[in-house]
Structures are given as C-alpha cells and as structure tokens.
Amino acid sequence: MSPAFGKCYDPSGTLHGIPTYPWRYAPDGLATRRQLRARGLRPGGQPIAAQLMRLSCRRKNGVSVAYLYRIDRAKPVRPMTSRKWGALALAMLARRTCPKCRVVYGYCLPTSLGMCLLCASPNPCGSPRST
C-alpha cells in the first residue's frame, strides 16, 4: 500500500472524524452531490456519510476532499417553477449586459473587468475613441 493511499484510507473514521476513502474507492451506496444531481436527486438535509480524499499539490492543506451522501436517503430534485425560471433569466441577462454602455452581449461579461471589452480598453484598434 502506498503512503498516499494509507493517509486517505480511514473507513472507521478514527483519524478524520468521518469515514474516509481514497479517490475512486468509495463503497457502493454513496455518491457526491454531482453524482446525485446526475441521477435527479439531492442530499435533502442528510448529514455527510463519508468523504473521498486525495493528495493535491494545488491545495493549501495538500488534500482534495469530496463529501459523500447516502443514495437511499436522497430526495428527488425540486422542479423549477415559472418564477425561478424568470429570476434565472433576469440574472443571466444582468451578467450579459454592460453597466457602462448598456449593450447586451451573447456571452457573460468577465467579472474581472466589470464591463465589456470595448468599454474596458482605452482605445480599441489604435483609433481614438469618442465618449
């Protein structure tokens, strides 16, 4: 058994507080939020049953964790109502509208700029811009 596997394997939960399994070694009957959503389910308020763990040099603490939920306790996803669809459409419209020039684009504007590319650049294509 590799040292990485040993650090991430704790089925009794004595080391990490909850049962911990290495990446891709979860027992049957447990799923992540994303896997539940693919099946049309949601956790439904149940506590975390276990976790998946793998060593990662990209994270500050050195590990990536994914929480697991029991499939048999999961509830079906609530259907979208017309009000939720409307609110989602307005939110997406706001993400595509430049606050400076009020133009609606076909893509979401970058949040780092806070406006469209034309408004963010001082002089596009080298020509002077009149405002």
Same domain, 57 and 108: no
Whole-angstrom distance, CA of residue 43 vs CA of residue 73:
7
Query: For residue range 27-69, what is the model confidence (pLDDT) as tens digits?
Result: 999 999 999 999 999 999 999 999 998 877 777 777 888 999 9
Q: Is residue 128 part of a domain?
A: no
69 with 100, same domain: the answer is no
115 Cβ neighbours under 8 A, 6+ residues apart: 98, 99, 100, 101, 109
| pTM flag (> 0.75) | no
Q: Whole domain around residue 68: which residue ranges?
A: 3-76
Q: How many domains does the chain have?
A: 2
